């Protein structure tokens, strides 16, 4: 219902002036007029024509129609159907557009709350309710007043910017600014903040300080100083608004080059702004996994226009991108009335809501140590460390030779002789005991394909040797020679028992390896020694040695909130687990992993490995080593190396010593 103050006898008095004088002091009763439902613009236009031609009791409906037409125009920006008391519809539309331009495209809902008619019947005030959808579940709501005047049978609206917001003057306008929500931290073991807001310096050109020509000149100097493409940045500055700050680059606060730091003093228009940004401890810290945060791209805005707009910050890669919705929180908004001279008056504020933290199992100290150890390795490399008792990934480091790729948890390489951990379990299940004799010749031929042991294989390990010695010394020919004990799926089943070969979602990019059935006898032989159709990531092989250490399958996990469960598999028996652990201990006490024998702490079990592949320089070798000590399992991978023991081994040894 709308409340309208009315003088019902006025029209009769217009026909009988004496009656009006006699009743001049009579009380003025309130008359309640039902509010018509909101009408379309076309219907309103027709209604305005009709009421314009009618008289008598239709004036109330005419005032209602005029107010409703105004409300519809304020929603659409089209004033063609509004009777105006001054100025053309086009001029009012232009002024209205200028008034609300700073609201960033938000579309208000405007409705008529009520109409109060003044004494005399030639003027009325319409109360309008405004509602701006400033957030998904939050509106900015307020009321304004519109003055209507009657001329003949028509009601006209007096345009004024205060119609839009009561405090606006003829020279002020609305302006909204998004308040970025503090991004949720990414935390590691013990709740330590890994990615959190850290001080940065934004370098750019401030258009409000200088003319367009001077801004372009400043942009050229900035681009050259920070080493970015000049032409695109100059184009961006040239197209920017007169009050815009156009960022060129962001530095960590302690990494601003001296030449860049002095630009603000030497060049008008250049501005250095202190800000905060979600960053890891160092630029490269777990970068391929954690990902980065930066300005949203045009593609992101196009795909999710309701979520992102120009100038927003969001996760661009890695965990930052996958969990952006949780991490980014809900932005706030401040609406101000801005005068021509720049004076601002706050009208509305919606505080932002901080993003939710993302908890990881990663140990910042161990991750940093792993990255330090890989820092000098030129080929692609990775180190993964996890806790056998619960599968928690403590470190997942990628070397500088990886080109920014996450090889630690998602690489796909032949694991070479580290896969003999799986082959050994399969053969144990097939009835071969650790002491059973096996043949280890220097070479063996399968369907015309010649297989051999690695170049520095010890001569003392050749001939008829115990199965445990074949694993300790990593005799390729012995494992190939025992392949006949296994059925087609025995290797797959053994791999699954050690956490390899069955993919499942862990909430981050993870490759669990591939153990495909051989398609030929030659491939079957190659599979036994971790080549052929066998592939794994460093995380996969860390899982294999962790499962051997624990005596049951281990499922790696990195995100605390993601529940993981083991895939369907055939569990190891206590006897199988004990035999496998004893054989892997022999690798350290009397085999290729002897360098780990004096590492302080609990006993170490290990397996070395190399895998041949066709490289740029011909046949090259991947170097692997996996080991477990106490509640720590580690895999080290170097894409091109001499051998597992000489290339990957020293890195793994140093890591175990540092972790102890």
Q: What are the two backbone dihedrals, phi and then psi, of residue 280, each rounded to the nearest 5 degrees?
A: -80, 175
41: Cα separation from own chain's centroid: 44
Of 475, 454, 471, 403, the closest CA to residue 642 belongs to: 454
Of 220, 200, 208, the closest CA to residue 267 belongs to: 220
Q: Residues of the chain with pLDDT > 90: what percent?
A: 78
| pLDDT tier, 247 (very low <50, low <70, confident <90, very high otherwise) | very high
pLDDT value, residue 156:
93
Mean pLDDT of the chain: 89
Q: Looking at the structure, do residues 441 and 471 belong to the same domain, yes or no?
A: yes
State the Cα–Cα distance between residues 237 and 208, nearest whole angstrom.
Answer: 12
Q: Looking at the structure, do residues 355 and 369 belong to the same domain, yes or no?
A: no
Of 38, 33, 35, the closest CA to residue 5 belongs to: 33
Q: Looking at the structure, do residues 264 and 370 belong to the same domain, yes or no?
A: no
Q: Looking at the structure, do residues 373 and 271 belong to the same domain, yes or no?
A: no
Q: How many domains does the chain have?
A: 3
Q: Looking at the structure, do residues 284 and 383 belong to the same domain, yes or no?
A: no
Q: Looking at the structure, do residues 630 and 587 belong to the same domain, yes or no?
A: yes
Q: What is the DSSP string of 8-60?
A: TTHHHHHH-HHHHHHTTTS---EEEEPPPPP--HHHHHHHHHHHHH--GGGHH
Q: Is residue 176 part of a domain?
A: no
pLDDT, tens digit (0-9, with 9 covering 90-100), for 256-301: 999 999 999 999 999 999 998 889 999 999 999 999 988 888 899 9
Q: Is residue 218 part of a domain?
A: yes
Q: Looking at the structure, do residues 334 and 405 belong to the same domain, yes or no?
A: no
Of 401, 329, 363, the closest CA to residue 647 belongs to: 401
Q: Is residue 175 part of a domain?
A: no
pLDDT value, residue 58:
62
Q: Is residue 316 part of a domain?
A: yes
pLDDT tops 60 at residue 4: no
pLDDT, tens digit (0-9, with 9 covering 90-100), for 140-153: 999 999 999 987 77
Are 621 and 643 in contact, with CB atoms under 8 Å apart? yes
Q: Residues of the chain with pLDDT > 70: what percent?
A: 91
pLDDT, tens digit (0-9, with 9 covering 90-100), for 433-445: 999 999 999 999 9
Q: Looking at the structure, do residues 481 and 430 belong to the same domain, yes or no?
A: yes
CATH at 53 = 3.10.450.50
Cα–Cα distances (Å) from 366 to 189, 253, 395, in that order, read 10, 25, 6
Q: Is residue 177 part of a domain?
A: no
| pLDDT: which is higher, 660 or 555 | 555
State the Cα–Cα distance between residues 401 and 460, nearest whole angstrom.
Answer: 37
Q: Looking at the structure, do residues 240 and 117 belong to the same domain, yes or no?
A: no
200 contacts: CB under 8 Å, gap ≥ 6 = 250, 251, 252, 253, 274, 275, 276, 277, 279
CATH at 603 = 3.40.710.10
pLDDT, tens digit (0-9, with 9 covering 90-100), for 592-641: 999 999 999 999 999 999 999 988 888 999 999 999 999 999 999 999 99
Count, in order, helices (H) and strands (E) of the chain.
23, 27
Q: What is the DSSP string of 220-282?
A: HHHHHHHT--HHHHHHHHHHS-TT-EEEEEEEEGGG--HHHHTHHHHSTTEEEEEEEEEE-SS
Average pLDDT over residues 97-110: 95
Q: Looking at the structure, do residues 288 and 193 belong to the same domain, yes or no?
A: yes
Q: Looking at the structure, do residues 459 and 529 belong to the same domain, yes or no?
A: yes
Choose the final residue of a domain: 333, 359, 385.
Answer: 359
Structure tokens at 330: 């809900």
Q: Looking at the structure, do residues 414 and 353 belong to the same domain, yes or no?
A: no
pLDDT value, residue 504:
86
Of 62, 38, 37, 294, the closest CA to residue 180 belongs to: 294
Average pLDDT over residues 401-413: 97
Of 407, 405, 408, 404, the closest CA to residue 395 belongs to: 408
Q: Is residue 180 part of a domain?
A: no
pLDDT value, residue 23:
35
Residue 99: give the domain boundaries. 2-170
User: For the whole model, what pTM was predicted?
Assistant: 0.81
Of 652, 596, 609, the closest CA to residue 395 belongs to: 652
Structure tokens at 468: 């445990």
Q: Is residue 178 part of a domain?
A: no
With tokens 């490759």, the residue in question is: 511
Are 379 and 639 in contact, with CB atoms under 8 Å apart? yes
State the Cα–Cα distance between residues 579 and 421, nearest whole angstrom.
Answer: 11
Q: Which range among 334-338, 504-508, 585-589 shows the weakest confidence by mean pLDDT? A: 504-508
Structure tokens at 109: 């809902």
State how beta strands 381-386 and 245-252 pair.
unpaired
Choose the final residue of a domain: 359, 380, 399.
Answer: 359
Run of H or E including 93:
helix 89-100
Choose the final residue of a domain: 328, 359, 390.
Answer: 359
pLDDT tops 70 at residue 1: no
CA angle 516, 517, 521 (to 5 degrees): 130
Are 245 and 272 in contact, with CB atoms under 8 Å apart? no
CATH at 285 = 3.90.1310
Q: Is residue 305 part of a domain?
A: yes
pLDDT value, residue 59:
61
């Amino acid at each position: 219902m709308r409340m309208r103050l009315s003088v019902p006898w006025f029209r009769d008095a217009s026909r009988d002036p004496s009656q009006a004088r006699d009743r001049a002091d009579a009380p003025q009763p309130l008359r309640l007029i039902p509010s018509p439902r909101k009408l379309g613009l076309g219907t309103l236009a027709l209604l305005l024509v009709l009421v314009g031609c009618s008289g008598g009791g239709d004036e109330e409906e005419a005032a209602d129609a005029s107010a409703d037409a105004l409300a519809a125009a304020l929603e659409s920006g089209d004033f063609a159907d509004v009777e105006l008391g001054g100025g053309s519809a086009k001029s009012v539309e232009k002024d209205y557009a200028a008034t609300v331009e700073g609201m960033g495209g938000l579309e208000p809902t405007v409705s008529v709350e009520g109409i109060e008619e003044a004494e005399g019947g030639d003027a009325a005030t319409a109360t309008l309710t405004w509602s701006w959808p400033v957030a998904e579940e939050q509106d900015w709501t307020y009321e304004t007043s519109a003055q209507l005047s009657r001329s003949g049978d028509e009601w006209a609206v007096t345009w004024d910017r205060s119609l839009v917001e009561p405090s606006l003057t003829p020279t002020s306008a609305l302006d909204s600014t998004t308040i970025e929500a503090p991004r949720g931290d990414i935390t590691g073991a013990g709740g330590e903040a890994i990615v959190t807001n850290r001080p940065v310096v934004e370098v750019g050109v401030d258009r409000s300080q200088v003319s367009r020509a001077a801004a372009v000149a400043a942009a050229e100097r900035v681009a050259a100083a920070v080493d970015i493409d000049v032409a695109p940045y100059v184009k961006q500055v040239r197209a920017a608004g007169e009050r815009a700050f156009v960022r060129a680059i962001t530095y960590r606060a302690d990494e601003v080059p001296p030449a860049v730091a002095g630009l603000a003093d030497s060049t008008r228009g250049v501005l250095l702004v202190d800000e905060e940004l979600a960053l890891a401890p160092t630029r490269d810290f777990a970068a391929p996994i954690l990902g980065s945060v930066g300005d949203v791209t045009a593609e992101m805005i196009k795909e999710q226009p309701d979520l992102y707009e120009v100038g927003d910050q969001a996760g661009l890669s890695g965990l930052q991108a996958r969990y952006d919705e949780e991490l980014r929180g809900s932005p706030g908004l401040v609406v101000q009335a801005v005068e021509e001279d720049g004076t601002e008056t706050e009208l509305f504020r919606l505080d932002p809501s901080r993003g939710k933290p993302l908890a990881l199992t990663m140990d910042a100290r161990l991750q940093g140590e792993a990255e330090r150890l890989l820092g000098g390795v030129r080929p692609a490399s990775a180190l993964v460390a996890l806790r056998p008792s619960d599968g928690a990934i403590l470190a997942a480091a990628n070397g500088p030779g990886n080109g920014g790729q996450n090889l630690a948890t998602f690489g796909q390489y032949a694991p070479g002789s580290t896969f003999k951990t799986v082959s050994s379990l399969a053969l144990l299940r097939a009835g071969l005991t650790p002491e059973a004799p096996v043949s280890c010749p220097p070479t063996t031929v399968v369907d015309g394909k010649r297989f051999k042991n690695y170049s520095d294989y010890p001569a003392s390990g050749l001939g008829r040797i115990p199965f445990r010695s074949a694993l300790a010394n990593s005799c390729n020919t012995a494992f190939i020679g025992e392949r006949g004990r296994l059925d087609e799926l025995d290797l797959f089943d053994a791999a699954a028992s050690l956490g390899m070969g069955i993919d499942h979602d862990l909430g981050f990019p993870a490759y669990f390896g591939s153990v495909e059935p051989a398609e030929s006898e030659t491939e079957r032989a190659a599979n036994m020694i971790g080549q052929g159709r066998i592939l794994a990531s460093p995380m996969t092989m860390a899982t294999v040695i962790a499962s051997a250490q624990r005596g049951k399958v281990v499922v790696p996990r990195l995100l605390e909130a993601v529940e993981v469960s083991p895939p369907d598999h055939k569990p190891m028996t206590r006897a199988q687990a004990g035999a496998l652990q004893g054989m892997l201990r022999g690798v350290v006490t009397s085999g290729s992993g002897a360098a780990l024998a004096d590492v302080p702490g609990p006993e170490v079990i290990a397996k070395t490995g190399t895998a041949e592949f066709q490289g740029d320089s011909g046949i090259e070798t991947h170097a692997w080593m996996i080991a477990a000590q106490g509640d720590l399992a580690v895999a080290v991978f170097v894409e091109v190396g001499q051998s597992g023991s000489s290339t990957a081994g020293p890195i793994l040894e140093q890591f175990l010593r540092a972790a102890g």
